[in-house]
């Protein structure tokens, strides 16, 4: 066998010449020699023309370009605006928790996010912040001298779903979520749900038709009262409870101890468009996705999700609020008159159409006066 290690460019050229002479030979010895020679040549080429691995920042930017993601869309996974900027510029490497969030929610390979860089470790196991506990205390859920653990133990008989929270929740939650605060919020929601008079489990034969009925309530001057009454007739409890520090929630779907479904909303954005989309999203979960083995579904709708039931709920809510045939008549050049006409044709409040347009076309400067800002908390008499 005439193969030698390649140490110089001259050796490399000689190896290429030898390989060329061996191509097409029927002799088994020549074939074996060619196979070994090719391995030697490839090894030399890799050593001389190694492709530098992408940095975590480059991997994130590549995924952003693929998915049309803006820097602000990374905040649920990376933190503040300044932290996003630091990571995208390569000044700071993502932490282990941030790597996990980027991999799960955006599908970026872990290897691309790790690279040959030193990363910050995972955060220590979270505990409820003092602010979250004090908020619950000020709202009357936690008693004066009661600890969080005592509170959770006290409401446990009324809120069995909370004990299943870590196993049953979907992953549409912010990477910075404080799990203890999240459990406390769910427990408070279910405690509040105990006050509702609904005693019958929901039996919704046609969820899509029921959702359209709910959506069309948005045009009524007394939509707030009509919504609560309609949901109660359907056997569903509506609870409004602001999100606690560390929870980053828009809404949730869960089951009361007796199995009666609960839709919980935080109203954190206080806009009509966000309210109605979140409501119908959670209605989809209540009517289609809650099961004995999945009694809590939590949603931060600023977070993208690859979860199948989340995609179904998003699509369900969009079609319930604006039928596809109505939406198809709008485009990026649509003006306010087209938004108002579409809302009339869909039988819903114009804020719903304006909000969908702003999201769909990623233009949050237009129609800002049409999305019903500040009109939800006042209807529910929430400060």
Please provide residue 254's backbone torsions phi and psi, each rounded to the nearest 5 degrees. -155, 175
Closest to 126 measured CA to CA, from 248, 305, 282, 277 = 248
- CATH code for the structural domain at 56-114: 1.10.260.40
Q: How many CB atoms lie within 10 A of CB 61?
A: 15
Which stretches of 178-260 are assigned E, i.e. beta strand? 237-240, 251-255
DSSP H or E stretch at residue 341? helix 336-346
Beta bridge partners of 262: 237, 254
pLDDT bucket at 125, cuts 50 / 70 / 90: very low
Average pLDDT over residues 205-230: 96
Residue corresponding to tokens 């405690």: 191
Average pLDDT over residues 239-262: 91
3-state helix, strand, coil in the chain (%, to 5): 55, 5, 40
| Interior angle at CA 258, CA 253 and CA 259, nearest 5 | 40
Which range (143-147, 286-290, 368-372) has the least confidence?
143-147
| Mean of per-residue pLDDT scores for the chain | 85
Q: Is pLDDT of 2 > 70?
A: no
For residue 229, what pLDDT is reported? 94
Copy the structure tokens of residue 133: 């506990």
Which stretches within 89-193 are classed as H helix? 96-106, 110-114, 130-138, 148-155, 160-163, 165-168, 179-193
pTM over 0.75: no
Average pLDDT over residues 126-140: 82
326 close to 346: Cβ distance less than 8 angstroms: yes
């Amino acid at each position: 066998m005439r193969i030698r290690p390649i140490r110089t460019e001259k050796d490399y050229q000689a190896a290429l010449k030898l390989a060329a002479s061996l191509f097409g030979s029927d002799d088994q010895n020549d074939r074996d020699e060619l196979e070994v020679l090719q391995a030697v040549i490839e090894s030399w080429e890799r050593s001389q023309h190694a492709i530098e691995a992408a940095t975590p920042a480059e991997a994130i930017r590549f995924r952003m370009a693929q998915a049309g993601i803006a820097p602000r869309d990374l905040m649920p996974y990376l933190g503040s605006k300044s932290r996003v900027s630091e990571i995208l510029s390569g000044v700071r490497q993502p932490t282990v928790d941030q790597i996990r969030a980027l991999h799960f929610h955006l599908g970026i390979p872990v290897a691309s996010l790790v690279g040959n860089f030193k990363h910050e470790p995972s955060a220590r196991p979270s505990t409820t912040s003092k602010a979250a506990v004090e908020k619950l205390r000020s709202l009357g859920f936690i008693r004066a001298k009661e600890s969080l653990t005592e509170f959770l133990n006290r409401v446990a008989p009324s809120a069995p779903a909370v004990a299943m929270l870590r196993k049953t929740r979907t992953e549409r939650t912010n990477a910075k979520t404080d799990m203890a605060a999240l459990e406390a919020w769910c427990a408070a929601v279910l405690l509040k749900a105990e006050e509702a008079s609904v005693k019958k489990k929901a039996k919704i034969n046609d969820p899509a038709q029921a959702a359209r009925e709910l959506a069309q309530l948005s045009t009524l001057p007394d939509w707030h009262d009509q919504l609560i009454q309609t949901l109660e007739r359907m056997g569903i409890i509506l609870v409004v409870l602001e999100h606690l520090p560390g929870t980053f929630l828009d809404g949730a779907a869960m089951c009361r101890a007796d199995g009666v479904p609960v839709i919980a909303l935080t109203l954190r954005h206080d806009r009509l468009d966000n309210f109605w989309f979140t409501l119908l999203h959670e209605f989809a979960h209540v009517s289609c996705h809650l099961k004995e083995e999945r009694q809590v579904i939590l949603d931060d709708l600023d977070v993208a999700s690859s979860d199948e039931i989340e995609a179904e709920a998003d699509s369900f809510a969009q079609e319930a609020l604006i039928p596809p045939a109505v939406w198809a008549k709008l485009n990026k050049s649509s003006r306010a008159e087209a938004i108002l006409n579409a809302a009339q044709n869909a039988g819903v409040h114009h804020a719903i159409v304006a909000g969908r347009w702003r999201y769909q076309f990623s233009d949050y400067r237009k129609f800002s006066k049409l999305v019903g800002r500040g009109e939800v908390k006042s209807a529910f008499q929430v400060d």
